[in-house]
Structure 1
Amino acid sequence: MDKLSTRERIVSAASRLFYNEGIGRVSVDAIAAEAGLTKRSLYYHFKSKDDLVTAYLDYRDLPNLQAFQRWFEEADGSASDKIAAIFNQLEISAKHPKWKGCGFLRTSSELINMPGHPALKRGIAHKQRIEAWLAGCLAAGGIANPDDLARQIRILLDGAFAVVTLDRDPSYMTLAGQAARTLVEAASRQQTGSPPA
């Protein structure tokens, strides 16, 4: 098996274990076993567990962003409807028995005392990428102050992730989506000068 496919097997195994159990509870031995490799082979591709944690977040970055983009594009209606649809889809995801919350937030919380950790930087970059994409969508819809509004929606997203993870009640996702819809509708009215409904 070539190096690339071996590396992918390792990252895939690490991703499953880290997401399901948390990074602190998963050993390099467990990842090697999950990937069907020796620990020596794993260390040939990754110098340390820290490198594996960073690769795990890299592995999740683009698929997560693409899911948000797909949900936005597939939703009917205005920008506010499309933003709310993201939260609705997250509620569906959160109902799955294997859902364990946001891997970026969970990993970041485990690394909170290590501000220079590469994986923590990846988590920050991912959240900023989501925020920038949201701002772009809002700007394309002609909404005023899209950067500030995108930050507000990000707060609602991450807050909903935290509450649903803690309470195990997916309905908080849709409630957060309703709040996001209200914010986007208010910004749209402000842009057009329409009176409140």
Structure 2
Amino acid sequence: MTQPETSTRQRIVEAANRLFYREGIRAVSVDAVAEEAGITKRSLYYHFKSKDDLVAAYLDHRDQPNLDAYSRWFAEAEGDVSNRIAAIFEKLAGRAERPGWKGCGFLRTSAELANLPGHPALKRGAAHKKRIEDWLASMLREAGRPAPETVARQIALLLDGSFAAAMLHRDASYFRTAGAAARALAS
């Protein structure tokens, strides 16, 4: 692929990221993404076979940056593994207090596609959530905590639950409450 094609594809994915996160995947048309990217619909379909492929690329675009943020917040925090995991929840609370915060793009997309179990975006969402769980287990394992896989799964449930509750109630304190529970689990 030549550089201009890569640039156009990236512009499309970035436009989709802005629109899908802000408005939801079903509310945003392919025409709107093309317009936001400054291209024609035909050009969009040159890079993506379908809107489903574009939605999957949107989640792929969010995957590594989210994992990197968790890892960075964990590394920057002080204290033992339990304090470092709680710091992730504190950072998420700070993000949830921002006006444009709309929750977890993976969970929101999964909710919109719940009736389409084979959709590629659902597979991307499940893989992302599993990577977070596996990363948490590795941090707990490195710290010598017992049952790291079980505790990581419990913390992952706290993460997803706090995303849902904070979004539903528009209250970032759910992250802080879940962070205190995660700290206790990881101790």
TM-score by structure 2 length? 0.98
**Which residue is 2:180 aligned to?**
178
Q: Among residues 78, 81, 84, which one is paired with 2:83 in the alignment?
A: 81
Q: Amino acid of the residue matched to residue 79 of structure 2? A: G
- One of 7, 10, 14 as aligned partner of 1:8: 10
What are structure 1's unaligned runs of at least 5 residues? 186-197
Q: State the alpha-carbon separation in 1 of the partners of residues 89 and 74 from structure 2.
A: 10
**Aligned position for 2:37:** 35
- Residues 1-197 of structure 1: matches in 2 within 5 Å? 2-185=4-187
1:127-171 deviations in Å (ceiling 9; x for gaps): 000000000000000001000000000000000000000000001
Report the Cα distance in structure 2 between the residues aligned to 1:182 and 1:147, rounded to whole angstroms. 16
Distance (Å, rounded) in 2 between the aligned partners of 1:184 and 1:58: 29
* Identical aligned residues as a percent: 65
CA deviation digits over 1:61-116, x for unaligned, max 9?
Answer: 00000000000000000111000000000000001100000000000001101111
Task: Please list the CA deviations of residues 40-69 of structure 1 after superposition, one character each: whole Å capped at 9, or x if unmatched.
Answer: 111110111001000000000000000000
Whole-angstrom distance in 1 between the partners of 2:152 and 2:105: 21
Give the AA of the match of 1:108: S
Q: What amino acid maps onto 2:83 in structure 1?
A: D
By how many angstroms is 1:11 displaced? 0.3
State the alpha-carbon separation in 2 of the partners of residues 30 and 123 from structure 1.
Answer: 23
Q: Deviations over 1:2-61 (max 9, x none)?
A: 100000000000010000000000000000000000111111101110010000000000
In 1, Cα distance between equivalents of 2:68 and 2:170:
25
Q: Matches of 2:46 and 2:118 in 1, distance apart?
A: 24
Matches of 2:161 and 2:74 in 1, distance apart?
A: 20
Amino acid at match of 1:151: R
TM-score, normalising length: structure 1: 0.93
How far has the Cα of 1:183 moved from its partner? 1.0
